[in-house]
Amino acid sequence: MKRVGTGRGQRPVVSRRDFINGVGVAVGGSFLPPGLAAALAANEMSGYYPPIRTGMRGSHDGAYEVAHALRDGVTFGVPQERDDVYDLIVVGGGISGLSAAYFYRKQVDPNARILIIDNHDDFGGHAKRNEFWHDGKMYLRNGGTLNVEAPSQYSTVAAGLLWELGIDRTRYYRAIQSVQDRYKDLGMAFGVFFDQKTHGANKIVSGLGARPAAEFFAETPMSEKARTDAVRLFTEARDYLPGQTPNEKRAKLIRMSYYDFVTGVAECEPEVATLFNPEVNSLFGTGVDAIPAIYGYEMGFAGFSGMDLPEIPPGLLVNEPGGQHGRENAARAGSGDPDLYFPDGNATITRLLVGSLVPGSMSASTMEEIVTAKADYSQLDRGENRVRIRLNSTAIHVANTNASEVAVTYVQNGEPFRVRGRASVLACWNAVIPHICPELPEKQKVALGDGVKAPIVYTSVLLSNWRAFVDAKVNYIAAPGGFHSTLSLSTPLVMGDYRTSASPDEPIVLGMGRYPCKPGLSRRDQHRAGRTELLTTSFETFEREIRGQLHDMFAPHGLDVDRDILGITVNRWPHGYTYSYNPLFDPIEWAFSTSEERPNVIGRQRYRRIAIANADAAASPHTDAAINEAYRAVGELASVI
């Protein structure tokens, strides 16, 4: 839903937007802080340090135009030959591509010469780092991939990689122990923002799930009937499908949306169903109309406590390969070690990977020190290194040229270049592969085009303080009618020299999530519609909406958006979460089995010396999936080279 700002959003957000070596960067205060000066000095040669760039990031301008032109039939001329023959050329510098390079060196040849090509100006794919500086201090946030989710369910391969990179879960949990209850200790909890347009009043109500439902809903501006319905749904153990066996009920809930369950079967007002939209948005990129009711049950949503539903049989895809965004048995998903949140999200993993691949690129190699480590981008693509990472380069053609060689053509600064290698891993998105690798069998190309990635926006807002959040007693907020539908203060952390804001008077980075979609359409069409909307929404519109929404939510609690917003980075991901199968729109066996007929399996087959990695190959939007697929792809190549 589009909301009109309050008129307070017209001023530029950044108090002083400096340009340092051609980089637009938000710096509060009048001097260059020593840490940032050091980071920039490390990149003196190239003057290049993308994590501090603000404004429209994620799929930034300049990153996607070549790929779109290729899709539209544009040709790029005769490429120049570059470099000696590599052992491996990886397309895609996300977690999967970087892991593929790591596994190749480990399992095939420790001295292998590897080139990794990525279209963005920074490495990491979705796992990007947003770095703000204010009054000499660094404030971090994830620009995409947030956490290591359900780590106990990681495969030996994925958990092993994290361990080898120095991510020690025991040390991590010990480090955060003293701060993890910071918000709770201040009386803060999960809350819901009810907006004026939908409910007739702007109001944050704190404590859904943390206090009696009747007390929570009594404070909301929902209609009287909706409040009564909600209390019933949340508290009564009622069987909404009486007279049916547990298996019959399950079969019904697999084919029915959670929206239809709540409004049709449980006969609640639509306002009650849409309360769950923000959480479903953040997990699937759509609302409750596009997920089956059974996922709601598995995620512990309201309405099922009296339904006597059967346990999910063990061995199904639901528990493979990690947290499955709702396809999990809730009890099992919650078991094992808790999720890991690093201050810059899973950019910590990509920075550790890059450090291990490219000598001199990172000034530290431990989980704690990497957080504040300097990254030297001038080291990434040097001829003397065995692994090179070439940014701002879009692959446009990948081919087996003879029985022992592949060639990859890419465009950098508008110029086409060609490199040769003994093999290639395509760790880019499935939808791109048929366009860059036309020699693949037709059936495989169709399968690669089957899934549609969910568009997502993660916005990072640097605030001068978070007193208004303490006043409203919330640290995580669902805003069902908001332009951004989820808001969360940075997870309290101490990691090496870095610690998140300890006092409400200190600056903090607020994360806001927007998930453009179009309820009523099929899930794939919702994602397509959202993507179009995203690519046509300017940063200025985002800025206006962000300021308007934060004013509406927090002005009553003391926030002044003109005074308190110090910087904004909008991480736009038109091709975000991998498409995961869903029995409302896909065959049941795709969603609930490891069938070889699933398009992701057909699509990921090796073709001579070209293997396919990336999270899409697993049909699972998760870090461990991206790592597992890299390992499989490298293993497939090892058998033919």
485 vs 550: CA distance, rounded Å = 12
Supply the minimum distance, in Å, between the C-beta of residue 66 and ligand FAD: 8
Q: 5 or 482, CB closer to ligand FAD?
A: 482
609 touches 87 (CB < 8 A):
no
Supply the minimum distance, in Å, between the C-beta of residue 398 and ligand FAD: 9
> Which whole-number Å values give the CA distances from 495 to 70, 137, 274, 332, 583, in the listed order?
43, 15, 37, 28, 41
Q: Phi/psi class of residue 64: alpha, beta or left (left: φ > 0; alpha: ψ in -120 to 50)?
A: alpha
- Round the CA-based radius of gyration of the chain to a whole number and report it: 24
The residues that touch ligand FAD, with contacts defined as CB under 6 A, are 67, 91-97, 117-120, 125-127, 144-147, 149, 394-395, 427-429, 432, 436, 456, 458, 573, 576-577, 614-615, 621-623, 626
Q: 53 or 250, CB closer to ligand FAD?
A: 53
Q: 95 or 508, CB closer to ligand FAD?
A: 95
Supply the minimum distance, in Å, between the C-beta of residue 143 and ligand FAD: 8
Q: 389 or 472, CB closer to ligand FAD?
A: 389
Q: 94 or 603, CB closer to ligand FAD?
A: 94
Supply the minimum distance, in Å, between the C-beta of residue 380 and ligand FAD: 14
Residue 576 C-alpha from the chain's centroid: 7
515 touches 530 (CB < 8 A):
yes
Supply the minimum distance, in Å, between the C-beta of residue 579 and ligand FAD: 11
Q: 153 or 257, CB closer to ligand FAD?
A: 153
640 touches 606 (CB < 8 A):
yes
Environment class of 248 (CB within 10 Å of its CB; exposed 0-12, middle 13-18, buried 19+): exposed
What would the two tokens of residue 469 be? 């959040």
Q: Which DSSP helix (H) or strand (E) runs through 125?
A: none
What would the two tokens of residue 84 be? 């000696």
Q: 207 or 287, CB closer to ligand FAD?
A: 287
Q: 424 or 614, CB closer to ligand FAD?
A: 614
211 vs 305: CA distance, rounded Å = 18
Supply the minimum distance, in Å, between the C-beta of residue 419 and ligand FAD: 12
Alpha helices in 136-218 (DSSP H): 156-164, 169-176, 182-185, 196-199, 213-218
Among 280, 167, 182, 211, which Cα is nearest to 517's?
280
Q: 619 or 626, CB closer to ligand FAD?
A: 626
> Which whole-number Å values give the CA distances from 143 to 51, 147, 161, 470, 479, in the listed order?
9, 11, 22, 25, 20
- Residue 552 — φ and ψ, nearest 5°? -60, -35
363 touches 373 (CB < 8 A):
yes
Q: Using omega within 30 degrees of 0 as the cis cutoff, is the peptide bond preceding 50 cis?
A: no
410 vs 70: CA distance, rounded Å = 11
List the 23-28 sheet strands across, edge first. Answer: 17-20, 23-28, 129-134, 137-142
Supply the minimum distance, in Å, between the C-beta of residue 573 and ligand FAD: 4
Q: 28 or 574, CB closer to ligand FAD?
A: 574
499 touches 179 (CB < 8 A):
yes
Supply the minimum distance, in Å, between the C-beta of residue 283 and ligand FAD: 10
Supply the minimum distance, in Å, between the C-beta of residue 178 and ligand FAD: 24
Q: Which residues contact 368 (CB under 8 A, 6 or more apart)?
A: 171, 175, 495, 496, 497
Q: 5 or 125, CB closer to ligand FAD?
A: 125
Tokens 């490219």 correspond to 358
Supply the minimum distance, in Å, between the C-beta of residue 524 and ligand FAD: 17
Supply the minimum distance, in Å, between the C-beta of residue 236 and ligand FAD: 34
